């Protein structure tokens, strides 16, 4: 398995967290645990070799080569599988607020789902798909999709500075800033902030804060820090041990002890440490 990170062009940088290419001669074997924990970032997935099977909330979806797929924000884990053969796909992870200005559609409509982009933007998707299918080189495919997204951004490009400010504050506090604190900071009611977040991100402020809070632990796991050395600090960020346990299982699909001892998830480790 190889994951190669690609530099984003200057126009898209404010809107994209990362661009990477996954390559494997054996795909995602069914016995492996390749888990993508939620990070608050919607994604564009472009398979070009072999199909991908993603399982989230008990529902499996298949993504086929030659198509583009938009993955809306969600607050639970996704497990990836494929048949045991050469597999390759391009992934673009938008910042939490980055997809709305580019696609110009409410993120609430895409949250928790995987969509063929033709269902969202038919004309744009068909043109991008045709250009990608006719290009054999992966590096050129990455350039083509960036150019296509840049054209969308130039057509839409509607940003909300209040939401962007709130996301920065939540992220910098590792999800510990209260929604009441955000309301006081911005002067907007909690209800108004909730509506803005759902439109621009697809998640409520509280849900996004929970993801950022969990990501603090997930990075420590990816760095292979001893669990005992971080346990007490972690529990300070949750109501109690049962709250931490519940959130952990939702974000990874496993109980904390099982995840630490038995789940390798090298795929998730690489993405977390990027």
pLDDT 10s digits, 137-181: 999 999 999 999 999 999 998 999 999 999 999 999 999 999 999
Do 136 and 28 share a domain, yes or no?
Answer: yes
Do 13 and 146 share a domain, yes or no?
Answer: yes
Do 149 and 198 share a domain, yes or no?
Answer: no
Do 168 and 141 share a domain, yes or no?
Answer: no
pLDDT confidence tier of residue 232, bands split at 50, 70 and 90: low
Residue 57 predicted with pLDDT over 90: no
Residue 30 predicted with pLDDT over 80: no
**Residues 117-142: what's their mean pLDDT?**
96
Of 132, 155, 178, the position where a domain reaches its end is 155
> Which of 99-103, 170-174, 185-189, 246-250 comes out lowest in average pLDDT?
246-250
Residue 236 predicted with pLDDT over 80: no
pLDDT reported for residue 207: 96
Per-residue H/E/C for the chain: CEEEEECCCCCCHHHEEEEEEEEECCCCCCCCCCEECCCCCCEEEEEEECCEEEEECCEEEEECCCCCEEECCCCCCEEEECCCCCEEEEEEEECCCCHHHHHCCCHHHCCCCEEEHHHHCHHHHHHHHHHHHCCCCHHHHHHHHHHHHHHHHHHCCCCCHHHHHHHHHHHHCCCCCCHHHHHHHHCCCHHHHHHHHHHHCCCCHHHHHHHHHHHHHHHHHHCCCCHHHHHHHHHCCCCCHHHHHHHHHHHHCCCHHHHHHHCCCHHHHHHHCC
Do 53 and 108 share a domain, yes or no?
Answer: yes
pLDDT confidence tier of residue 264, bands split at 50, 70 and 90: confident
In the predicted model, what is the mean pLDDT of the chain? 92
Q: What is the CATH number of the domain that holds 53?
A: 2.60.120.10
> Which of 98-107, 124-133, 234-243 comes out lowest in average pLDDT?
234-243
Do 90 and 179 share a domain, yes or no?
Answer: no
pLDDT reported for residue 31: 66
Reported as a single tens digit per residue, the pLDDT across 43-55 is 999 999 999 999 9
pLDDT confidence tier of residue 233, bands split at 50, 70 and 90: low
Residue 240 predicted with pLDDT over 90: no
Question: pTM to 2 decimals?
Answer: 0.94
Do 170 and 257 share a domain, yes or no?
Answer: yes
Do 131 and 195 share a domain, yes or no?
Answer: no
**Residues 195-220: what's their mean pLDDT?**
93
pLDDT reported for residue 217: 83
pLDDT reported for residue 42: 98
Instruction: Tally the domains of the chain.
Output: 2
pLDDT reported for residue 177: 93
Structural domain boundaries enclosing 260: 161-272
Do 17 and 102 share a domain, yes or no?
Answer: yes
Of 101, 133, 155, the position where a domain reaches its end is 155
**Residues 101-111: what's their mean pLDDT?**
97
Residue 190 predicted with pLDDT over 70: yes
Do 72 and 137 share a domain, yes or no?
Answer: yes
Do 34 and 138 share a domain, yes or no?
Answer: yes
**Residues 52-81: what's their mean pLDDT?**
94
Do 259 and 196 share a domain, yes or no?
Answer: yes
Of 125, 155, 185, the position where a domain reaches its end is 155
């Amino acid at each position: 398995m190889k994951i190669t990170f690609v530099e984003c062009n200057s126009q898209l940088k404010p809107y994209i967290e990362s661009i990477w290419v996954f390559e494997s001669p054996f795909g995602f074997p069914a016995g492996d645990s390749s888990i993508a924990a939620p990070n608050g970032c919607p994604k564009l997935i472009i398979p070009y070799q072999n199909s991908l099977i993603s399982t989230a909330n008990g529902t499996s979806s298949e993504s086929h080569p030659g198509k583009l797929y938009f993955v809306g924000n969600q607050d639970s884990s996704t497990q990836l599988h494929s048949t045991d053969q050469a597999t390759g796909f391009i992934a673009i992870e938008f910042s939490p607020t980055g997809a709305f200005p580019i696609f110009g559609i409410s993120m609430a409509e895409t949250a928790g789902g995987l969509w063929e982009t033709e269902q969202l933007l038919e004309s744009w998707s068909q043109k991008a798909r045709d250009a990608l299918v006719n290009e054999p080189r992966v590096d050129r495919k990455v350039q083509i999709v960036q150019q296509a997204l840049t054209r969308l951004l130039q057509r839409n490009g509607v940003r909300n500075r209040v939401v962007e400010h709130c996301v920065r504050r939540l992220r910098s506090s590792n999800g510990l800033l209260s929604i009441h604190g955000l309301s006081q900071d911005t002067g907007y009611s909690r209800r108004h902030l909730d509506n803005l977040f759902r439109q621009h991100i697809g998640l409520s402020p509280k849900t996004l804060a929970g993801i950022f809070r969990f990501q603090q632990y997930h990075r420590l796991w990816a760095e292979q820090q001893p669990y005992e050395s971080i346990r007490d600090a972690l529990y300070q960020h949750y109501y109690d041990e049962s709250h931490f346990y519940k959130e952990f299982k939702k974000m990874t699909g496993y109980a904390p002890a099982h995840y630490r001892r038995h789940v390798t998830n090298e795929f998730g480790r690489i993405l977390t440490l990027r």
